[in-house]
Chain A
Amino acid sequence: DAMVIQNPRYQVTQFGKPVTLSCSQTLNHNVMYWYQQKSSQAPKLLFHYYDKDFNNEADTPDNFQSRRPNTSFCFLDIRSPGLGDAAMYLCATSTALAGRGETQYFGPGTRLLVL
C-alpha cells in the first residue's frame, strides 16, 4: 500500500545532542510537510517542501532544519535539542499545496524525548 513512513517511531536524545528524524513516502507526492505536535495541541507546521522548494514558517526556530534529497525522502534535523522540543513530529504529504483543497496524508509520527 502507498504510504508515509516515519522512522524511528520513538527517539530518545540528550539535551544538545543533534538528532535526525526521517520520513519517506511511496505516494510520489510533490509536497512534504513537517509538523510539531505537543500533547493535546494542534499540529504546528514547521516547514514544507514543494518539490525542491523549501518554505520555512516564520516562527520556526533556527534550531530546526530540513533536507529533501529526492522526491521520496525528507529529513528533520534538530541541531541542539532542548527540553521544550520534546514532542510528536509528524510528516505529511500532498499532491499540491493547500490552496487547492488537497488532502494531506500523515505518517504515524516520531515521538521525541529529550533527556
Chain B
Amino acid sequence: AQSVTQLDSQVPVFEEAPVELRCNYSSSVSVYLFWYVQYPNQGLQLLLKYLSGSTLVESINGFEAEFNKSQTSFHLRKPSVHISDTAEYFCAVSDSSASKIIFGSGTRLSIRP
C-alpha cells in the first residue's frame, strides 16, 4: 500500500532564505510523485510532479524537487523564498495500479520578513 510522510508540520523561514520541505513515500511499484500548494482559503493547485525521466523537476516559480528512489524521497526546495510562498504544501503519491492519489499531512511554510 502507498503512503506519504511529511516529517515537518511547520517550517518557519526568513524571507530570501533557502527552504527544504521533506517528503518520503512508500510504494511497491513505480510511482508518480506530486507537490501541491494550498494558499489560505483556496483549493490545492499543482506545483510540480515527477512521472518519469529526469529526477529533478522544476516549477515556474522557482521550486524544484528531486526524486530519489534509493531514499524513497521527493523533497521540495527553493533557494530563496518570498512572502508570497506562504502556504501549505502537500506531497502526494500514486502509481500505475492506483485509482487515486494519497496525500501527506502537509507542511505549513511561514515566511518571516
A contact residues vs B (CB 8 Å cutoff): 4, 6, 33, 40-43, 45, 48, 55, 90, 92, 97-101, 103-109, 111
Q: Which B residues between 84 and 113 are near A, CB-CB below 8 angstroms?
A: 90, 94-101, 103-106, 108
Give which listed residue, A41, A98, A108, contacts B101 with CB less than 8 A: A98
B42 located at the interface, meaning its Cβ lies under 8 Å from any Cβ of chain A in the complex = yes
Q: How far is the CA of A107 from the CA of B41 in the complex (A)?
A: 11
Give which listed residue, A48, A99, A106, contacts B44 with CB less than 8 A: A106
B59 located at the interface, meaning its Cβ lies under 8 Å from any Cβ of chain A in the complex = no
Q: Which residue of A lies closest to B32 (CB)?
A: A101
Q: How far is the CA of A82 from the CA of B103 in the complex (A)?
A: 25
B45 surroundings in chain A (CB, below 8 A): 105-106
A-B contact pairs, 23 of them (CB 8 A): A6-B43, A40-B106, A40-B108, A42-B106, A43-B44, A45-B100, A48-B99, A55-B99, A92-B44, A97-B100, A98-B32, A99-B94, A99-B96, A99-B98, A101-B49, A101-B51, A103-B34, A104-B101, A106-B36, A106-B45, A107-B43, A108-B41, A111-B41
Range of interface residues on chain B? 20 to 34
A109 surroundings in chain B (CB, below 8 A): 41-43
Q: How far is the CA of A21 from the CA of B89 in the complex (A)?
A: 25
B9-A40 in contact (CB<8A): yes
- Expressed in whole angstroms, the minimum distance between the Cβ of A70 and any Cβ of chain B is 22
Interface flags, B36-68, vs A, CB<8A=1, else 0: 100001111110010100000000000000000
B97 surroundings in chain A (CB, below 8 A): 99
A43-B98 in contact (CB<8A): no
